[in-house]
Structure 1
């Protein structure tokens, strides 16, 4: 399944659950003199609860938002938030982007236009077949619903192609603490894009693309969390995020799980690099020179440091072609996808055993 365009950003489900997780982790793990991101212990139960909460609950309609008021707060807050993000990250902006307040429909149109330019909608049938065979897609789910998943769930986004920052009026209430929390995430994307260049997208069934997204989203989530622990009041932030609509609509569950993992699993990867390197230098190296190649490297940071690579796998379909079969699609599922499909209640009995197919997952 193709990744959504060149947009990187925070989703409402992350903001709604991440505030509590980030502030709790920061309070638990940071010493009085530390200056880097709070290094949270792996919290898979919290991650799973966040995904279940967003995918399974029905939320009330969000209160009406005044876009002009949201724009005023966003523009006024940006210079200060940018300076603080620079201090956290140890980097300087070449130019601070001015936030634009848009509706969710605007982001969707931008994404659809980008998909048309990249030909992203081609091959959906093949990708959908692969997702069903591996058990990632339920019988009543459509992969087409996931093509604009990132924009449907977005609270804000940064466009790497045009260096533009968007705040979504459908998702963010005009609350100063929530706006700063959201801007910290997006401004980190902008800062790292200016300094290193960020990936502009790829296929979600491409394990390498998913790993690279986890690097950039994990870094932005770590900065956002550190920003909250330094500069925002817990009570005000939690109250503001409590009003967000964190529902996920018709987006397939495995897409929501993957999306949330790029933030929270990516955050754990960033925390590990920060801790091992004693600062941001390993994160900078990953962004500038050698991003993680696989989700295995993100899940196991020592594998990244050793640059362990998946063994080459050759897939030959000659015999099947002779019997009239034709290729429907191809991709690399990776450790994250393999583990997800093997544990999923909807996976068919033919699902591969991840204990056997742990390092190489090309199909």
Structure 2
């Protein structure tokens, strides 16, 4: 898969899970939006991952319009346009997408549907979309804070800038997303891996993630190759990390 597309699809992690948090609330010690959610998640993430935040994570809100601008911007530089045009041509030649499908606007709409929040390694800020349901915002914060912690030890920005080596980029993205998904699930289960490790437990969680994705209209209408490209780093990455 193309470098630029994989980089943008990495932003969609918050839309992958709808499990209910069993974590106990803690006294907030952070300021700004979602201070209570951040204060609750940080110590659990540090315990699960085994690393401490070097600096407090930053979190801000973004309007849906700002998210659309951000997503659109990822496709507008000359290299991105060239990559997407080539990928679209290859998909059509192989019969993987309809001849009438325009990949760039479709991906923009798909990502808008998926994104509840994202961590930007360039600004070092976790962004949550205004008006997001509370449960989804909590899941987003937990997942993306894992990325914020990863970024304090390994530069995620440098990984996202990998060029001309899609296999390397895909492997790195799957490791980062896989850890975030797996630790998020563990935290949602109260810090226990019992349900994950029970016979059939992990398979059921994978099914739940796929079912949730399929409930989203644009994702459900997407060609199979786009669906699998979107979901691969999360499911297969978590399987590897497990």
TM-score, L = length of structure 2: 0.71
The one of 246, 264, 267 equivalent to 2:216 is 246
The answer to whether the Cα contact below 8 Å between 1:160 and 1:200 also exists between their aligned partners in 2 is: no
Could you give the per-residue CA deviations for residues 54-100 of structure 1, whole angstroms, max 9, x where no partner exists? xxxxxxxxxxxxxxxxx85x222102211110010000112232322
Match of 1:209 in 2: 169
The one of 3, 10, 13 equivalent to 1:10 is 13
1:109 pairs with 2:69: yes
The answer to whether the Cα contact below 8 Å between 1:75 and 1:98 also exists between their aligned partners in 2 is: no
1:268-287 alignment, distance < 5 Å = 268-271=239-242
Match of 1:189 in 2: 147
- Please give the alpha-carbon distance, in whole angstroms, between the structure 1 residues aligned to 2:161 and 2:95: 24
Match of 1:258 in 2: 229
Match of 1:220 in 2: 180
The answer to whether the Cα contact below 8 Å between 1:7 and 1:159 also exists between their aligned partners in 2 is: no
Deviation at 1:195, TM superposition (A): 0.8
Deviation at 1:158, TM superposition (A): 0.6
SS at structure 2 position matched to 1:266: helix
Deviation at 1:150, TM superposition (A): 3.5
The answer to whether the Cα contact below 8 Å between 1:6 and 1:160 also exists between their aligned partners in 2 is: no
- Please give the alpha-carbon distance, in whole angstroms, between the structure 1 residues aligned to 2:51 and 2:177: 17
Match of 1:161 in 2: 122
Structure with max Cα Rg: 1
The answer to whether the Cα contact below 8 Å between 1:86 and 1:93 also exists between their aligned partners in 2 is: yes
User: Highest relative contact order (Cα 8 Å, sep 6+), 1 or 2?
Assistant: 2
Query: CA distance change for structure 1 residues 110 and 190 in 2, over 3 Å: closer, same or farther?
Result: same
Structure with a larger share of its residues in helix: 2
Query: CA distance change for structure 1 residues 7 and 87 in 2, over 3 Å: closer, same or farther?
Result: same
Deviation at 1:248, TM superposition (A): 2.4
- Please give the alpha-carbon distance, in whole angstroms, between the structure 2 residues aligned to 1:252 and 1:96: 40
Match of 1:284 in 2: none
Unmatched segments (≥5 aa) in structure 1:
24-70, 272-363
- Please give the alpha-carbon distance, in whole angstroms, between the structure 2 residues aligned to 1:9 and 1:129: 24
Query: CA distance change for structure 1 residues 115 and 140 in 2, over 3 Å: closer, same or farther?
Result: closer
Unmatched segments (≥5 aa) in structure 2:
23-31, 196-207
Deviation at 1:169, TM superposition (A): 3.3
1:88 pairs with 2:48: yes
Across the two proteins, how many residue pairs are aligned to each other?
209
- Please give the alpha-carbon distance, in whole angstroms, between the structure 2 residues aligned to 1:225 and 1:163: 24
**Which range is displaced more, 85-94 or 95-104?**
95-104
Deviation at 1:174, TM superposition (A): 2.2
TM-score, L = length of structure 1: 0.50
The answer to whether the Cα contact below 8 Å between 2:11 and 2:115 also exists between their aligned partners in 1 is: no
Could you give the per-residue CA deviations for residues 226-258 of structure 1, whole angstroms, max 9, x where no partner exists? 1101169x9xxx9xxx8xx73325654422221
SS at structure 1 position matched to 2:218: coil
Could you give the per-residue CA deviations for residues 108-161 of structure 1, whole angstroms, max 9, x where no partner exists? 212333444573122433221111223322334322235434444112211011
Match of 2:38 in 1: 78
The answer to whether the Cα contact below 8 Å between 1:186 and 1:220 also exists between their aligned partners in 2 is: yes
The answer to whether the Cα contact below 8 Å between 2:117 and 2:137 also exists between their aligned partners in 1 is: no
The answer to whether the Cα contact below 8 Å between 1:217 and 1:266 also exists between their aligned partners in 2 is: yes
- Please give the alpha-carbon distance, in whole angstroms, between the structure 2 residues aligned to 1:169 and 1:119: 31
SS at structure 1 position matched to 2:216: coil
